Structure 1
Amino acid sequence: MDQPPKPPIPYLLAYAFTLAARRADEELRPYGLSVRKFGLLVQLQLEPELTMSELARQLGVSRQSLHELVGELERAGHLSRLPGATGRTRRLVLSRSARRLIAHAEEPLTRMEADFLGDMDPSEVETLRTLLQRLLAHATDDETWLAGT
């Protein structure tokens, strides 16, 4: 008997993202964050010299969407825009409140992650994390995804 076709990996990743993002957004809502805003703050913490274009590419959002996210975080006091290396560029700087917010929001996200991953054992979770980081490093041509692997 023929085996049913295996679901394509892009579909599996997209569906897993939809489910994970929905649950992460619920956990982050009390902090005034979404998973996108949290990701933006964490990415800036990891790579503070990113340009807006690089940040948009890494987050997988349009420049317009990034400007909206940055504006919301700036109005909340979590980001500042300062002059960049050239007169034409701006760089984003995390505030102290953003650093505290990241630290506080990590706990509910860790709990949500454990619940989301269910009965996967710790070695499976780390294998999944490593494979996703390798995938992202390859897809974005950015080896910073491999930090800590």
Structure 2
Amino acid sequence: MGIFNKLFSGKEGNEPKKEKTTFLNWLPLTSLEQLEDIKKQSETESILIFKHSTRCGISSMVIKQFEKLFTEDHKNLKVYYLDLLNYRNISDEVGYQFQVMHQSPQLLVIKNGVSVHNASHYDITLIDLSRFI
């Protein structure tokens, strides 16, 4: 396909690719102690936890679409990334502390120490992030 693009577009194809600016800054969730920090932070702002399975095709597609939801307006949202395969004990504790049944992928929104919203699978891609700014 690349050769046809060069032939018919009149371009050499050596134009620099534009890098997409991302406004999502993942914070790794790797210790149980961070859950207390998340609760504390959630007293003044919404905190998001994204639970991701690196072996799940749906989770891989959803995380890519989730990242595309972020605009400059959302750049200050704190989003914790939880690798379910490496930190299953933390995932279990997230479910227990925030009273949300485990799903994968899953997004929790924490405000004032409790989960005020959660979504799983493709429902994550339908979330209006502006609600949580």
Structure 1 length normalisation: TM-score? 0.26
Structure 2 length normalisation: TM-score? 0.28
Higher RCO structure, 1 or 2 (CA under 8 Å, sep 6+): 2
Query: More strand by proportion, 1 or 2?
Result: 2
Bigger-Rg structure (1/2) = 2
